[in-house]
Amino acid sequence: MFSKLKEALTSFTKRISETLKYRELSSEEVEKFCNNFLLELVEADVAFDVAQEITESIKSKLREIKVPRGRNTEEVILDVTRDSIREMLNRGLSRNFLEIIKDTLSISKPVKIVFVGVNGVGKTTTIAKVAYMAMKNSLRPVIVAADTFRAGAQEQLKKHSANLNIPFIGGKYGSDPASVAFDGVIYAAKNGYDIVLIDTAGRMHVDVDLMNELRKIVKVVNPHLKILVVDALTGNDAIEQVKFFDKAVGIDGVILTKVDADAKGGAALSIILGIGRPIFFIGVGQGYEDLELYDPNTILSRIL
Ligand code: GDP
């Protein structure tokens, strides 16, 4: 995970600190180091505009840098680089997910969460992971498959629910997704469940239909949270997906999947920095336990 990005950052900080050991950096040198670094970031799959933002931020800090006596130069450069990236990663910070759930539960039960996102991003797996995490925290979830067009989605969720021993509410092929979602909420309310996790369709090629379908589900269910699931490997497309689903239903936050599969590291970083939305969790594997709270420091420690 993040190997190429890590390499780029390490060699950048090393090169600068080598020079700084002997004298201050000239502005030409700062420019040269940062331009090389920008190219390396792009090679590690960081989107160009994001790479530019990172290097501009580091550049402005480097121009004023003075290494205090007794401090290791490389550490000082590392700090500067870390600070720049951390400031940008903080854009993805959200309120703690479990706190949101618990606060909501104190005024309204069950907590209703609608998941949106394009097919294949890992939506059904993520719903199962969230259900598992909820159970680990003594909450009782129900899983609802309100994608009635894709038989595979129903089957997958049913299987996950059976594995986790969680009630599953599905619908017949072609039935009204909003009514399936509503049935799920009623079931949870009647039986004292804490959270209803509702899957929705994610076919992008019929934009208008999908938007209307999602809007109807949201109108009928009135969810507490609308979460977009995004695949870390999709690059710029992820930004378009955020726009599409935000326009359709308005999203409260994002779960970023497959961060573990981003071998170079730049793709995930670009999305985190590019979408500028709260990120509740990141997906780091295919198992139910492979879901982590989004934490800029954990991401940073993986990179640097
Ligand atoms: P959906 O079509 O959006 O519901 O996607 P699925 O949940 O079926 O996931 C598609 C594939 O991505 C499956 O093989 C999942 O196991 C895999 N997947 C989902 N999340 C992650 C993740 O965080 N890391 C990795 N490596 N694979 C994931």
pTM: 0.92
CA 105 to centroid of ligand 1, rounded, Å: 29
Mean pLDDT on 88-114: 95
The residue whose CB lies within 8 Å of the most ligand 1 atoms, and thus the one to mutate among 116, 125, 290, is 125
Digit-coded pLDDT (tens) for 145-156: 999 988 788 999
Measured CA to CA, the distance from residue 63 to residue 111 in angstroms comes to 50
Mean pLDDT on 200-228: 90
Asked if pLDDT for residue 45 goes beyond 90, the answer is no
CA 121 to centroid of ligand 1, rounded, Å: 6
φ and ψ at 114, to 5 degrees? -105, 130
Ligand-binding annotation for 119, yes or no, is: yes
If phi over 0 gives left and psi between -120 and 50 gives alpha, with beta otherwise, what is residue 250? left
Q: Quick one: what percent of the chain has pLDDT higher than 90? A: 59
CA distances from 98 to 60, 94, 140, 226 (A): 38, 11, 13, 15
Measured CA to CA, the distance from residue 194 to residue 80 in angstroms comes to 44
CA 125 to centroid of ligand 1, rounded, Å: 6
DSSP secondary structure letter of residue 151: H
CB-based contacts of 72: which residues, under 8 Å, 6+ apart? none
Structure tokens at 119: 């097919």
CA 238 to centroid of ligand 1, rounded, Å: 15
Ligand 1 nearest atom to the CA of residue 283, by list position: 23
The answer to whether 109 and 194 have CB atoms below 8 angstroms apart is yes
Band of the pLDDT at 6, cuts 50, 70, 90? Answer: confident
CA 11 to centroid of ligand 1, rounded, Å: 33
* Closest CA to ligand 1's atom 19: 122
Ligand-binding annotation for 259, yes or no, is: yes
CA 232 to centroid of ligand 1, rounded, Å: 11
Asked if pLDDT for residue 212 goes beyond 80, the answer is yes
Measured CA to CA, the distance from residue 278 to residue 132 in angstroms comes to 21
Ligand-binding annotation for 23, yes or no, is: no
Structure tokens at 88: 């940008």
Q: Enumerate the β-bridge partners of residue 256.
A: 230, 282
Task: List domains and CATH numbers for the chain.
Answer: 3-92 (1.20.120.140), 97-295 (3.40.50.300)
Measured CA to CA, the distance from residue 74 to residue 248 in angstroms comes to 48
The answer to whether 25 and 16 have CB atoms below 8 angstroms apart is yes
Radius of gyration of the chain (CA): 22
Digit-coded pLDDT (tens) for 112-129: 999 999 999 999 999 999
Measured CA to CA, the distance from residue 96 to residue 11 in angstroms comes to 35
Asked if pLDDT for residue 205 goes beyond 70, the answer is no
Ligand-binding annotation for 121, yes or no, is: yes
Is the CA virtual torsion 258, 262, 268, 271 positive or negative?
negative
Structure tokens at 107: 């005024």
CA angle 240, 245, 205 (to 5 degrees): 70
State whether the beta carbon of 119 lies less than 6 angstroms from ligand 1.
yes
* Closest CA to ligand 1's atom 2: 120
Digit-coded pLDDT (tens) for 223-260: 999 999 999 988 778 888 998 999 999 999 999 999 99
State whether the beta carbon of 112 lies less than 6 angstroms from ligand 1.
no
Ligand-binding annotation for 124, yes or no, is: yes
* 211 exposure class (CB count in 10 Å sphere: 0-12, 13-18, 19+): middle
Band of the pLDDT at 206, cuts 50, 70, 90? Answer: low
The answer to whether 67 and 28 have CB atoms below 8 angstroms apart is no
Ligand-binding annotation for 70, yes or no, is: no
Asked if pLDDT for residue 191 goes beyond 90, the answer is yes
Q: Enumerate the β-bridge partners of residue 115.
A: 199, 227
